[in-house]
């Protein structure tokens, strides 16, 4: 989907050749002389189109309007949540006519952030997955033309940023949505290599031999039951001087989580194809960086493997040695995310990073704690936590800080190894984070548990592309 911004006078806009015309209605309203404002005030006399984000007024075949369909939508105060409501409401009215081009009237008083929020939300609700359909119905909406009465330059950066962010989010959705036989560790590595063709990008892929030489015993233990070879993906975006310490993003890349020998129940097990959503979000961030080229250095690490039961699979009770040297008693093979992440966190030390953020569909307990609204945020560093929290608020891709008191680590004690990989049912998302923290002592560290936010179950089953927007906002703030 392509966004563009053009300068047009209000009268000219109405005669634009588009399939549908949307007028974004700001909190302040439009000049009462404007034809659209007169429609709105007429509607208000009948208690239609109240003063609330998401209110819509739909008209067909308006005189003087070229587009067959005109939709006025209230965008509220321009907060991300207002933008979402407004985009959903507008799209619900428009999608039936399968528009190819959309014209959007941007009033003078609308802030660039509000426009961006609306554009991002529109891209989100008009997305649909097609890759493995035999007769993919191509996305009809290919062009969105924003019309402003002011010089286009004012809004150009916001639109360019929305476009780049949308591409990253859609790449993350694409990989998370792909069926597990179409998104193996090898496929993920190929996707990373393709991304690295862009300027300032590099990619290196390690296989079993290299990973074994590094001593990644925890990662290898998860992979040993799978017929698909593991991959450890290292992506680099070098947008700043070499001397600038990078931010490292670590994405959980379990391309399918059966639970291993601690097998999961059958119902909805297909959803565990989304267990590489953290990895997908790292790919998505790199896709956006390639387009925006900010002055910052970023490293992306993706340990990728399936978690399968097998004659050779790791067993409850097995003790393995991680890359850090710490030994781990694997009491539950379904707590595999932390096992592949811990070795990636140790590997991250070599970059002397200014911050390391891991992103993982780590625990069902986080779904219980925070649902689909906010991702769980855990951090050893207050400044980093604050910056990530704020990036969430600004982008509408929300998170919430959770505790890391040492008392939560009690349950991880083991008689047979330095640490166990589970810590009991209580506060499950926190004990998982406490496990990871043991491997992240050498740099400011944060962990995002996206188990509840990375995908939707039910009829609208699919990936959300979260938390790409949060991470991109954070990184742009650091450049």
Catalytic residues: 264, 338
| 449 lines the binding site for Mn ion (CB under 5 A) | no
* C-alpha torsion 465→471→476→479, nearest 10: -140
DSSP 242: T
Footprint (CB under 5 A) of Zn ion, residues 219-258: 254, 257
How would you classify the pairing of strands 101-106 and 201-206? unpaired
* DSSP one-letter string for 133-197: -SS----S--EEEEEESS-GGGTHHHHHHHHHHHHHHHHHHHHHHS-GGGS-HHHHHHHHHHHTT
Identity of the residue, 233 or 430, whose beta carbon is nearer to ligand BES in the bound complex = 430
365 binding partner (options Mn ion, Zn ion, ligand BES, none; Cβ < 5 to 8 Å by kind): ligand BES
User: Where on the chain is the footprint of ligand BES (CB under 6 A)?
Assistant: 257, 275, 332, 334-337, 361-365, 367, 422, 428, 451
Nearest approach in angstroms of CB 120 to ligand BES is 25
Identity of the residue, 241 or 267, whose beta carbon is nearer to ligand BES in the bound complex = 267
Which residues have CB under 8 Å from 187's CB, separation 6+?
A: 178, 255
List the x/- string, 308-347, binding to Zn ion by CB under 5 A.
-----------------------------x----------
Contact 184, 269 (CB under 8 A): no
| 306 lines the binding site for Mn ion (CB under 5 A) | no
Nearest approach in angstroms of CB 135 to Mn ion is 35
Identity of the residue, 162 or 451, whose beta carbon is nearer to ligand BES in the bound complex = 451
Contact 153, 198 (CB under 8 A): no
Identity of the residue, 195 or 216, whose beta carbon is nearer to ligand BES in the bound complex = 216
* DSSP one-letter string for 37-74: HHHHHHHHTTT-S-SSTT-EEEEES-TT-SSSEEEEEE
How would you classify the pairing of strands 20-25 and 201-206? unpaired
Distance CA 231, CA 331 (A): 24
Task: Taking the CA atoms of 356, 360, 364 and 366 in sequence, report the sign of the dihedral they define.
Answer: positive
In the list 329, 334, 343, 397, the residue contacting Mn ion (rule: CB under 5 A) is 334
In the list 275, 329, 397, 449, the residue contacting Zn ion (rule: CB under 5 A) is 275
Question: Which one of 2-10, 329-337, 363-371, 471-479 is the stretch in contact with Mn ion (CB under 5 A)?
Answer: 329-337
Burial class of residue 441, CB neighbours in 10 A (0-12, 13-18, 19+)? exposed
| 257 lines the binding site for Mn ion (CB under 5 A) | yes
Identity of the residue, 168 or 423, whose beta carbon is nearer to ligand BES in the bound complex = 423
Outline where 330-465 has alpha helix (H): 337-348, 364-370, 382-395, 428-437
Contact 109, 152 (CB under 8 A): no
Identity of the residue, 126 or 453, whose beta carbon is nearer to Mn ion in the bound complex = 453
Distance CA 293, CA 316 (A): 46
For residue 72, which phi and psi values (nearest 5 degrees)? -100, 130
422 binding partner (options Mn ion, ligand BES, Zn ion, none; Cβ < 5 to 8 Å by kind): ligand BES
Rounded to the nearest 5 degrees, what angle is found at the Cα of 47, between the Cα atoms of 44 and 52? 80
Contact 280, 175 (CB under 8 A): yes
Identity of the residue, 118 or 435, whose beta carbon is nearer to ligand BES in the bound complex = 435
Nearest approach in angstroms of CB 259 to Mn ion is 5
CB neighbours of residue 416 within 10 Å: 12
Distance CA 201, CA 306 (A): 27
Identity of the residue, 322 or 395, whose beta carbon is nearer to Zn ion in the bound complex = 322
Contact positions vs Zn ion (CB under 5 A): 254, 257, 275, 337
Contact positions vs Mn ion (CB under 5 A): 257, 334, 336
């Amino acid at each position: 989907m392509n966004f563009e911004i053009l300068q047009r006078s209000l009268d000219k806009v109405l005669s634009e050749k588009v399939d549908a015309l949307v007028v974004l209605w700001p909190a302040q309203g439009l000049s009462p002389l404007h034809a659209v404002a007169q429609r709105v005030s007429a509607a208000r006399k009948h208690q239609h189109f109240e003063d609330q984000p998401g209110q819509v007024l739909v008209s067909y075949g308006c005189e003087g309007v070229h587009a067959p369909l005109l939709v006025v939508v209230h965008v509220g105060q321009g907060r991300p949540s207002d933008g979402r409501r407004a985009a959903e409401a507008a799209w619900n009215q428009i999608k039936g006519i399968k528009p190819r081009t959309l014209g959007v009237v941007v009033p003078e008083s609308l802030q660039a952030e509000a426009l961006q929020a609306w554009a991002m939300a529109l891209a989100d609700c008009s997305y649909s997955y097609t890759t493995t359909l035999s007769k993919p119905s191509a996305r009809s909406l290919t062009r969105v033309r924003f019309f402003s009465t002011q010089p286009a330059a004012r809004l150009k950066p916001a639109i360019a940023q929305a476009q780049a962010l949308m591409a990253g989010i859609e790449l993350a959705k694409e990989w998370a949505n792909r069926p597990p036989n179409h998104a193996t560790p090898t496929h993920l590595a190929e996707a990373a290599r393709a991304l690295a063709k862009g300027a300032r990008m590099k990619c290196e892929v390690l296989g079993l031999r290299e990973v074994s030489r590094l001593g990644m015993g925890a990662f290898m233990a998860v992979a040993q039951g799978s017929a698909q070879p593991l991959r450890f993906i290292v992506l680099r975006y070098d947008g700043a001087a070499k001397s600038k310490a990078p931010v490292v993003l670590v994405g959980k890349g379990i391309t399918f989580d059966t639970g291993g020998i601690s097998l999961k129940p059958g119902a909805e097990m297909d959803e565990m194809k989304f267990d590489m959503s953290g990895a997908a979000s790292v790919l998505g961030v790199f896709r956006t960086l390639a387009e925006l080229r900010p002055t910052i250095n970023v490293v992306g690490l993706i340990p990728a493997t399936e978690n399968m039961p097998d004659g050779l699979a790791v067993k409850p009770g097995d003790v393995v040695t991680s890359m850090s040297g710490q030994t781990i008693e694997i009491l539950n093979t379904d707590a595999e995310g932390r096992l592949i992440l811990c070795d990636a966190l140790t590997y991250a030390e070599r970059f002397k990073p200014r911050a390391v953020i891991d992103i993982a569909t780590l625990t069902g307990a986080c779904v219980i704690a925070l649902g689909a609204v906010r991702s769980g945020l855990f951090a050893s560093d207050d400044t980093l936590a604050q910056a990530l929290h704020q990036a969430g608020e600004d982008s509408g891709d929300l998170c919430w800080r959770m505790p890391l008191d040492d008392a939560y680590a009690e349950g991880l004690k083991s008689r047979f190894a330095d640490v166990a990989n589970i810590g009991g049912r209580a506060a499950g998302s926190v004990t998982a984070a406490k496990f990871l923290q043991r491997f992240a002592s050498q740099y400011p560290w944060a962990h995002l548990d996206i188990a509840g936010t990375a995908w939707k179950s039910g009829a609208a089953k699919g990936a959300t592309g979260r938390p790409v927007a949060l991470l991109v906002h954070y990184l742009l703030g650091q450049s």
